[in-house]
Amino acid sequence: MSPTSTPVAAPSAASDEPVTVAREVPAWMITTLSVVFFIGLWEFFGHGVDPIFGSYPSAIAEAGWDLLKSGVLGRALWQSMQAFLVGYGLSVIVGVPLGLLIGRSRFLEAALGVFITGAYAMPLVALVPFLVLLLGLGFAVKASVVFLMAVFPIVINTWLGVRAVPKTLIEVGKSFVASDFTILRRIVLPATIPYIMAGIKLAVGRGVVAMVIAEFFTAISGLGGIIINSANNFDTARMFVPVIVLMVLATALNGLVGWVERRVAPWQTEMSGRDGN
Amino acid sequence: MSTSQVSFSDVSKVFALRVDNQVQKISALKSVNFEVGKSEIVTLIGPSGCGKTTALRILMGLETASRGSVVVAGKAVKGCGYDRGLVFQHAELLPWLTALQNVMFGLELKGMRGNELKDTAMRYLDLVGLKDAANRRPYQLSGGMKQRVGIARALAIDPEVLLMDEPFGALDAQTRESLQGELLEIQARSKKTIVFVTHDLDEAVLLADRIIVMRNGSVQEIIKVDLPRPRGDLGTLRGSKEFAETRYVVWKALHSAEQQRH
């Protein structure tokens, strides 16, 4: 018996079938509701606490308005941001190339890797007085502390990212006779961007903390200055103002880095299961 | 052979493998000799670990031979070169580049610039039937389309020899068959010399002028395929008696290779 086959009529074109697009609650709405709910809770329970030991949103807002009106907050923010931006910017400019080189070179990895890993865990707070001794009490010491805190997560993430680049992608470059530098710039760097961006995001948080620490130790200036002055005067509501400003700032910077990432590496967010919003 | 494009003379490869603080020597290739003529399609076939991919990587210049020499178009192989184009097992397109930019990548490294660069890349993308997908990125391409871009990228630099490392192994049967047909058409027009690594028996017979059966790092047998070239309709060919006979000869060679291994 030979095999038989029966033709089946082709299905009609599916172009007129309804298309359903899932309607989801947007992420920003969930985030907003979550923040409002948290502030509401804090306001409700915060009133029962002694104003020395705690505060609540409306009191903080009032203190914030006073600080803003008198220009103290704006001036402090500007002082802090200058140091932050210089230190943070330098950490990106130094950290990314250093991470790329360490990841690509067996020699540099063996020679410098141990310092990088060690320095990442360095208790920087202990070193600030020493840095003050070296650099004085001004802008330079603040920027350096921010740099030292922010640079290592960037180096380490970039380094790990380079190590994770598939060997076959490097071989694509080699098969077209690319030089080591060309492979680094045109294959390793783009392939490492998601790791670099993760490092740059981590560095925002660490940089902000570093800035405040530096201001505690050095001059009574900047947002850290307001925090320490208010705490010394038991003015808890006023102390919370720069804390909240810093949290908002760090969140905004993270969002900014995420936006940059979607611009320079659009394939990454589209390739992964979730979108970047 | 005076028209020899590729020749392996006495090529051996030993890998050092560190297992539990002891260095073991693994002999991946043992004194391999074969030649590939101009415009010939040669497939290397054998079970995994037989050394076929190692031979291809040495030919590409990604690996160096421990002994012996490999000559391509009259020149000894020293590292990679534009006289050889490699099609990778999983295409290995650069995910941040579009299909067109991926094809342009090799050409740019070869030194081509400007309009010529874009036009040439577009021509090769058209050759593999992907002109309309030029601006898609790899994640927007199917497996078969990715491998087509991979073939276009390797062909675009106009190499003397096209090297292919199990390029259709990860594709579904239908896509694989249509790509095999397209590859034969492209070869018929361009007269490229092709060295093709596969573990698929049908594929080896369909594509090759000669099949090199490998075992344990050595060439076990070289089988000449007496099927007409151009191959014509591959579907008809698959059903033909000649195909079945050649297939059986290669199967026996592979089978005896297996038996000797155990």
ipTM of the complex: 0.90
Binary contact (B85, A265; C-beta < 8 A): no
Mean pLDDT of B242-259: 85
| Chain A positions in Cβ-Cβ contact with residue B95 (cut-off 8 Å) | 191, 267, 271
Q: How confident is the model at residue A277, as a pLDDT?
A: 40
- pLDDT at A275 (0 to 100): 46
Q: Is B177 helix (H, G, I), strand (E, B) or coil?
A: helix
Q: In chain A, which residues have their Cβ closer than 8 Å to the Cβ of B170?
A: none
Task: Enumerate the residues of chain A whose CB falls inside 8 A of the CB of residue B85.
Answer: 175
| Per-residue pLDDT, B208 | 93
Chain B closest-CA separation from residue A21 CA (Å): 20
A171 touches chain B (CB under 8 A): yes
* Nearest CB to B137 within list A166, A173, A267: A267
Low-confidence ranges of chain A (pLDDT < 50): 274-277
Question: Does the structure show a pLDDT above 80 at B119?
Answer: yes
At A141-164, the pLDDT tens digits run: 889 999 999 999 999 999 999 999
Which residue type occupies B245? E
Nearest to B88 among A172, A190, A191 (CB): A172
The sheet with strand B22-37 has its strands ordered as B22-37, B4-19, B67-72, B75-76
Section B162-185 average pLDDT: 92
CB atoms near residue B106 (< 10 Å) = 27
Mean pLDDT computed over B228-236: 83
Q: CB B139 to CB A190 under 8 A?
A: no
The token pair that represents B242 in the structure block: 């000649």
Q: Which residue in B36, B86, B50 sits closest to B219, CA to CA? A: B50
Select the residue of A175, A177, A267 nearest B139 (Cβ to Cβ): A267
Q: How far is A267 from chain B (nearest CA, A)?
A: 6
Residues A61-69: contacts with CB within 8 Å, 24+ apart? Answer: A62/A237, A63/A235, A63/A237, A63/A238, A63/A240, A63/A241, A64/A241, A64/A244, A64/A245, A66/A238, A67/A226, A67/A238, A67/A241
Q: Which residue of B has its CA nearest to A188?
A: B94
pLDDT for B123: 94
Q: Which of A170, A174, A175 to probe the B interface (max B CBs under 10 A)?
A: A175
Q: Specify whether the CB–CB gap between A223 and A80 falls below 8 A.
A: yes
Out of A168, A176, A267, name the one closest to residue B105 (CB): A176
| CA angle A187–A191–A196, rounded 5-degree value | 125
Chain A neighbors of B62, CB-CB under 8 A: 171, 174-175
- Provide the angle, in degrees to the nearest 10, between the axes of the packed helices A139-163 and A106-120: 130
> Among residues of chain B, what percentage have pLDDT more than 70?
97
Does residue A172 belong to the interface with chain B, where contact is any CB pair within 8 Å? yes
**Is the separation of the CB atoms in B36 and B4 below 8 Å?**
yes
The per-residue DSSP string of A185-225 comes to IIIIHHHHHHHHHHHHHHHHHHHHHHHHHHHHHS-S-HHHH
Mean pLDDT computed over B176-186? 92
Q: Within a 10 A sphere around the Cβ of B13, how many other Cβ atoms? A: 22
- Say if the Cβ atoms of B109 and A177 lie within 8 Å: yes
Query: Is there a contact between B76 and B131 (Cβ–Cβ < 8 Å)?
Result: no
State the Cα–Cα distance between residues A269 and B9, nearest whole angstrom.
49
Q: Which residues contact B113 (CB under 8 A, 6 or more apart)?
A: none
Chain B nearest-CA residue for A174: B80
The predicted model scores a pTM of 0.81
From the list B60, B92, B139, which residue is nearest A169 (CB)? B92
Question: What's at B150, amino acid-wise?
Answer: G
Q: Using DSSP bridges, classify how beta strands B67-72 and B218-224 pair: parallel, antiparallel or unpaired.
A: unpaired
User: What's CA B187's distance to the chain center, in Å?
Assistant: 12
DSSP chain A: --------PPPPP-TTS---------HHHHHHHHHHHHHHHHHHHHTTS-TTT---HHHHHHHHHHHHHTTHHHHHHHHHHHHHHHHHHHHHHHHHHHHHHHHH-HHHHHHHHHHHHHHHT--HHHHHHHHHHHH-SSHHHHHHHHHHHHHHHHHHHHHHHHHTS-HHHHHHHHHTT--HHHHIIIIIHHHHHHHHHHHHHHHHHHHHHHHHHHHHHS-S-HHHHHHHHHHHTT-HHHHHHHHHHHHHHHHHHHHHHHHHHHHH-HHHHHHSSS---
Q: How many CB atoms lie within 10 A of CB A118?
A: 10
Query: Which of B138-152, B183-197, B221-235 is predicted with the least confidence, judged by mean pLDDT?
Result: B221-235
Q: With contacts defined as CB-CB under 8 Å, which chain A residues touch B157?
A: 176
Residue B199 DSSP one-character state: S
Residue A76 near chain B (CB below 8 Å): no
B92 closest CB neighbour out of A172, A177, A271: A172
Does the pLDDT at position B125 exceed 50? yes
Which chain A residues are Cβ-neighbours of B88 within 8 angstroms? Answer: 168, 171-172
**B94 CA: distance to closest CA in chain A (Å):** 7
Region at B68 (left for phi over 0; alpha for psi -120 to 50; beta for the rest): left
Residue A276 confidence (pLDDT): 42
pLDDT at B1: 46
Q: What is the DSSP string of B100-149?
A: HHHHHHHHHHHT--HHHHHHHHHHHHHHTT-GGGTT--GGGS-HHHHHHH
The more confidently predicted of residues B160 and B3 is B160
Site from B96, B108, B147 to mutate, A interface, most A CB atoms within 10 angstroms? B96
Chain B residues whose C-beta sits inside 8 Å of any chain A C-beta = 60-62, 79-82, 84-86, 88, 90, 92, 94-96, 105-106, 109-110, 137, 139, 157
- Which candidate in A167, A176, A183, A184 is best for mutational testing of the B interface (most B CBs within 10 A)? A176
